Structure 1
């Protein structure tokens, strides 16, 4: 294989594929990227056996077709540190010969591993297919990913549950994430082709990689899936991932019904007040107490070492017309949710010990559930 490619083009492609490579692994070939050149196209592939990323770079000068593998992070770092505008030549004469990289006066010999050892996880049929605008996909991810669990023992919560559902008589595509303390449920109109899809749990790492790729386009993202795999076609990049093999809990059962005490408060003023009172404690898990009464909201936080802080919001920012209530929530959880809300936060309370529903007063496509803390 012998090719010549612009440094900027190669760097962008390497950045996409090398990010899925695990820095520490016990299988040497998984630290490598596979490079295949033919018909003016360079194809780069990397995998950690859970995710595979394939990128096709067109317009490459291919002097000698072929394929090889090379250390992904090393190749990326070398190309990253080359001068802007450099032409990069990659030359592999086959077999155990090193991959030679030349750019101006710089050159490197990189050890290769056999292409035959490189695993493939892009095979297999994916019968379900639909498309989402990149902005819609970003929105679904951003408004749910904060609630993904990081607790490995409950592996079935380590991702976003994506499925077709019905909401107020309309068919929707719903994304749900929960860590047992908070739940995020966001929905979009069901795209054509998604009606028969199985409910799937997209792993946390996959969600992060897809979100980065979706930032680079405004076009539609094509999504293919089966019971065990999902594939995202984003521009020139194809990302295939295994799905979490588990059963997502019946989340509808934890969404409370009949929470009839409704507080509406300006998002920015509320988020700023939470940040101020939470600063009294260095423990992020300590609660912020909300004391709510007619037209009034007081926020309080305590620290055994540092003392107490409270903040009261102006009456014109607060709308509440029910019985007084005191309830506590972890400050970070409040902040994570209010970050997803545009202008006005809407809390639906039952009492000081029951789960609370949080909504964006200006949008009906997202719902959040927060478990209270004892205060």
Structure 2
């Protein structure tokens, strides 16, 4: 193999593919990125056996060929080369790749491409295209609520499905929960997604797709089967296994009869929660108490080791003498997703889930479990 590439093009592609490669691997081949040179391009591929990312980069191909080299090492080398430099990659069919750029020269150990795994895609039951900003927003509004608890593996991702809402429209919905909070976001269902069975997209896949979508415009192509999902954006293709399991019935925990409504300025509320929670203890679950009366809300924290804190702010609330407690970090995570000037909280009682949404006809809503304070 003998190819010449532009450093910036190669770096961008390596940036996309090398992230899926784990730093520690049981199988040495999984630490490598596959290079396949032919037809004026080089295809780069990396995998961790659960996710596979492929991207093509334009190149001058003097001699076609295929090999694999250490992904993270190569990325760091290319990253440190001069901006706009020319990069030459050459192998002679042996165990090394020679990389030259200007006066720099590196010899990298290769492994045979014959043992490089191929994550077979199989056939897909649904294919559709989603505007990149819409897909990015679905992820951004729900990702924070994904559970990290490995024993409840079916919560370690975003549940993606189509559903008909009360207006009669069909939407593509993303849901994530860790049992303490739940995030739900909708976008218009694209053509081809109707009837799609609910799937659970793993957390690592969600994170990688979010990075690919950063600043992207146009559409991202999505293909879904019972076991895999494939995202295609420009020259990048990300194929991932899905989480096998049953996502809980989130509708059952979504409050339907919360009759106490509070409207509060989002920025003022977030700043106040952040301030008073400064002295909250981790041992106490970072608990903050909300005490609401007609037009007034008091936020308070009590820490036996450090003291107390309180702050008052004006709200729209017509019920007297209502108190409820929340984990301050969870509360701030949810309020941080509110895009409108005001946040709307609806309560039932101090022991029931609270519903949080934006002011107006919002495409997202959040559920937060209370704490005893």
Q: What interval of TM-score do these two structures reach, taking the shorter chain for normalisation?
A: over 0.9
Partners of 2:55 and 2:332 in 1: CA distance: 37
Contact 1:264/1:320, CA 8 A, preserved across alignment: yes
User: Which string of whole-angstrom CA distances, capped at 9 and with x for unpartnered residues, describes residues 66-94 of structure 1?
Assistant: 11000000111111111112110000111
1:25 aligns with 2:25: yes
Q: Which residue of 1 aligns with 2:103?
A: 105
Partners of 2:53 and 2:246 in 1: CA distance: 26
Task: Map 1:286-297 onto structure 2 (within 5 A).
Answer: 286-297=286-297
Q: Which residue of 2 aligns with 1:12?
A: 12
Q: Which residue of 1 aligns with 2:367?
A: 369
- Of 324, 335, 354, the residue aligned with 1:327 is 324
Task: Map 1:1-375 onto structure 2 (within 5 A).
Answer: 1-58=1-58, 60-94=59-93, 96-168=94-166, 169-283=168-282, 285-313=285-313, 315=314, 318-342=315-339, 343-375=341-373
Contact 2:273/2:328, CA 8 A, preserved across alignment: yes
Contact 1:29/1:118, CA 8 A, preserved across alignment: yes
TM-fit CA distance, 1:105: 1.1
Aligned residues: 370
TM-fit CA distance, 1:125: 1.0
Partners of 1:36 and 1:2 in 2: CA distance: 11
Superposition RMSD on alpha carbons, in Å? Answer: 1.1
TM-fit CA distance, 1:2: 0.6
Contact 1:89/1:101, CA 8 A, preserved across alignment: yes
Partners of 2:26 and 2:9 in 1: CA distance: 31
Contact 1:261/1:323, CA 8 A, preserved across alignment: no
* TM-score, structure 1 as length reference: 0.97
- The 3-state SS of whatever aligns with 2:206 is helix
Between stretches 203-212 and 161-170, larger displacement belongs to: 161-170
Q: What residue ranges of structure 2 are gaps of 5+ in the alignment?
A: none
Partners of 2:282 and 2:24 in 1: CA distance: 32
- The 3-state SS of whatever aligns with 1:248 is coil
Partners of 1:160 and 1:149 in 2: CA distance: 10
Q: 1:166 and 1:323, CA in 2 relative to 1: closer, same or farther beyond 3 A?
A: farther
TM-fit CA distance, 1:123: 3.1
TM-fit CA distance, 1:267: 0.2
TM-fit CA distance, 1:302: 1.3
Contact 1:217/1:235, CA 8 A, preserved across alignment: no
User: Which string of whole-angstrom CA distances, capped at 9 and with x for unpartnered residues, describes residues 242-263 of structure 1?
Assistant: 0000100111111122100000
Contact 1:52/1:122, CA 8 A, preserved across alignment: no
Between stretches 203-212 and 300-309, larger displacement belongs to: 300-309
Partners of 2:40 and 2:178 in 1: CA distance: 47
TM-fit CA distance, 1:216: 4.0
Partners of 1:363 and 1:268 in 2: CA distance: 19
Contact 1:144/1:185, CA 8 A, preserved across alignment: yes
Contact 1:186/1:365, CA 8 A, preserved across alignment: yes
TM-fit CA distance, 1:282: 4.8
- The 3-state SS of whatever aligns with 2:122 is coil
Partners of 2:83 and 2:353 in 1: CA distance: 54
Contact 2:121/2:239, CA 8 A, preserved across alignment: no
